[in-house]
Amino acid sequence: MAELSGLQIFKYLPGAKKAEHTNCKECGCPTCMAFAIKLAKHQIDIEKCNYVTDDLKDIFAQHSKQPQKTIEINGVKIGGENVLYRHEKTFINKTALAVIVNLNDKNWKEKFEKIKNFEIHKINENIKIDLIITQNGKLDNCIKYEDLKNLPLVEIIDENFQSTANKLIEIRKKAVLEKDENYSSPTCVYFKHTNDLYSLCAKASYYICKYANMLIFEDFDENLFNALISLRQNIFTDPQKPLQVESKVYEFNNPDENSIIFLTTNFALTFFAVANELESLPVPSYLIVTPADGMSVLTAWSAEKFTAKMVAKTLKNFKLAEKVKTRKIIIPGLLAHMKDELEEEIQNENLDFEIVVGTIDAFSIGDFVKNFKP
Ligand code: SF4
């Protein structure tokens, strides 16, 4: 049962029937249609309109029911999903990855330390194993396996791939499509020890895609988790939200006051492409990353998220002029048309930087720098 759209809600409001109170604004919205659209997005309380019928209240409550419960285990949220496919809306909580430490095993301490210290860095994020679950005892900051049993969580012991996959699909479909409360608990798959890590990786990958909310492993292998975390990041990243990095001045190869200065936006892909090149240059450099809602340079420019005024203000805020003697800032070649405007706004902020048009592609930065005089 999908959520109601604004149009479906509107049909029940006075505005659709041209009845008394049409567009009366008492709800704080300019029209009934505006109220309907806000209500569909859960941005306004249905009670704000005194003329909503009981019919609409019932239907709205029915359609707005959360298909899946959200539960929190040691600060890690799982479940709360509303859709079968990410493109329908978005996924809410990524599949948690948990590892068992059995305190009866003679090597448990070594395993525990390895899990605790495991960390990978991906697109501006440091990622660790989400949960350590203990068996036969308790450790600080870990959850006991027995305690998981008290949570509203459906555990599937992975004995057979097809049967586990079928159960996961059935539960998610019943929860999302039928809003069947008997299927509203998050799911978790338990993997017993195996020597076949390839098959474990393949199965776990499938269950991340469809539709496990948590995976519990008796085995811990760094390569396995590297692969699963990369996959999970791809599945659970919301494509509607551009990946962005922090807007600040980044330093490469220990720059000093005479080092060259580049400038770009905070779109993650652009940043990493440029940062890779700057890291491998034989000279130190700065990279000014301007805030642009994670948009690439041309998109940001056309959406007015990269205007000369904004760039000049960012430079002023970063106080770079006080830190360096270099007075040339290299902008992406795609923004060549902004050179004069940028220089004018920079002067308006009482800064004396000169704008130099750089390369269109990040991979040409090396050649550009060879002939560049700061
Ligand atoms: Fe329409 Fe109700 Fe808002 Fe009046 S209070 S504008 S009837 S939605």
Picking from 145, 144, 112, the residue whose alpha carbon sits closest to that of residue 129 is: 112
One domain for residues 90 and 44: no
One domain for residues 91 and 226: yes
Domain CATH number, residue 342: 3.40.50.11600
What pLDDT is stored for residue 236 in this prediction?
92
* Ligand 1 mutation target, pool 7, 12, 13, 56, most atoms within 8 A of CB: 13
Q: Is 366 in the pocket of ligand 1 (CB under 6 A)?
A: no
Distance, CA 57 to ligand 1 centroid (Å)? 14
Tell whether 191 is covered by a domain.
Answer: yes
Q: Is 44 in the pocket of ligand 1 (CB under 6 A)?
A: no
Tell whether 241 is covered by a domain.
Answer: no
Residue 107 Rama label (left phi>0; alpha psi -120 to 50; beta)? alpha
* Ligand 1 mutation target, pool 26, 44, 56, most atoms within 8 A of CB: 26
> What's the rounded mean pLDDT across residues 342-361?
93
One domain for residues 150 and 225: yes
One domain for residues 278 and 186: no
Closest residue to atom 2 of ligand 1, CA basis: 49
> What's the rounded mean pLDDT across residues 51-56?
94
Q: Which domain holds residue 334?
A: 249-370
Query: Residue 205 corresponds to which amino acid?
Result: S
Tell whether 268 is covered by a domain.
Answer: yes
Task: Answer yes or no: is pLDDT of 95 > 70.
Answer: yes
Q: Are 366 and 280 within 8 A, CB to CB?
A: yes
- For 169-204, how does the pLDDT look when each residue is reduced to its tens digit (9 = 90+)? 999 999 999 889 999 999 999 999 999 999 999 999
pLDDT category at 1 given cuts 50, 70, 90 is low
Name every residue whose Cβ is closer than 8 Å to that of residue 124 and which is 6 or more positions away in sequence.
243, 245, 246, 268
One domain for residues 231 and 273: no
One domain for residues 25 and 121: no
One domain for residues 126 and 190: yes
Tell whether 91 is covered by a domain.
Answer: yes
Q: Is 0.75 surpassed by the pTM of this model? A: no
One domain for residues 87 and 221: yes
One domain for residues 104 and 49: no
Picking from 290, 289, 282, the residue whose alpha carbon sits closest to that of residue 259 is: 282
> What are the angstrom distances between the C-alpha of 114 and each of 117, 220, 233, 242, 289?
5, 8, 22, 33, 36
Tell whether 312 is covered by a domain.
Answer: yes
Picking from 119, 145, 146, the residue whose alpha carbon sits closest to that of residue 130 is: 119
Name every residue whose Cβ is closer than 8 Å to that of residue 196 and which is 6 or more positions away in sequence.
none
Distance, CA 56 to ligand 1 centroid (Å)? 13
One domain for residues 259 and 365: yes
Q: Is 49 in the pocket of ligand 1 (CB under 6 A)?
A: yes
What's the domain count of the chain?
3
Phi–psi pair at 49, nearest 5 degrees? -100, 120
Closest residue to atom 3 of ligand 1, CA basis: 27
Q: Which of 63, 88, 110 is the last residue of a domain?
A: 63
Tell whether 240 is covered by a domain.
Answer: no
One domain for residues 99 and 226: yes
One domain for residues 82 and 186: yes
What pLDDT is stored for residue 122 in this prediction?
78
Instruction: Determine what percent of the chain is predicted with pLDDT higher than 90.
Output: 84
Helix-, strand-, coil-residue percentages of the chain, each rounded to 5:
40, 20, 40
> What's the rounded mean pLDDT across residues 296-304?
91
